[in-house]
Copies of this chain bind each other. A is one copy, B any other.
Amino acid sequence: MPSTTRERILDAALELIQQQGFGGTTVTDIEELAGLSPGSGSFYRHFRSKEQVFREVLERELARAREHRRDFERGPVADPQEALTRRLVQQLDYLTKVRPLMNLLAREHGRFPDLTRRIRSVLVDQGIAEEAEHLGRDLPGEPAHDDPHALLAVVVSALTGYELSRGFFGRPPADIAPDRFAAALAALVTGRPGRE
Q: Interface residues, chain A, CB within 8 Å of chain B? A: 18-25, 105-111, 116, 120, 124, 129, 143-147, 149-154, 156-162, 164-165, 168-169, 172-174, 176, 180-181, 183-185, 187-189, 191, 193-195
> Which residues of chain B come closer than 8 Å to A107, judged between CB atoms?
21, 106-107
| Interface of A, helix, strand, loop or mixed by DSSP | helix
Q: B164 and A194: CB pair below 8 A?
A: no
Quote the shortest CB–CB distance from A188 to chain B (angstroms).
5
Question: Closest CB of chain B to A68's CB: distance in Å?
Answer: 19
A66 to chain B, nearest CB (A): 19
Q: Which 5 A-B pairs have the closest CB atoms?
A: A161-B161, A23-B24, A150-B184, A157-B161, A23-B23
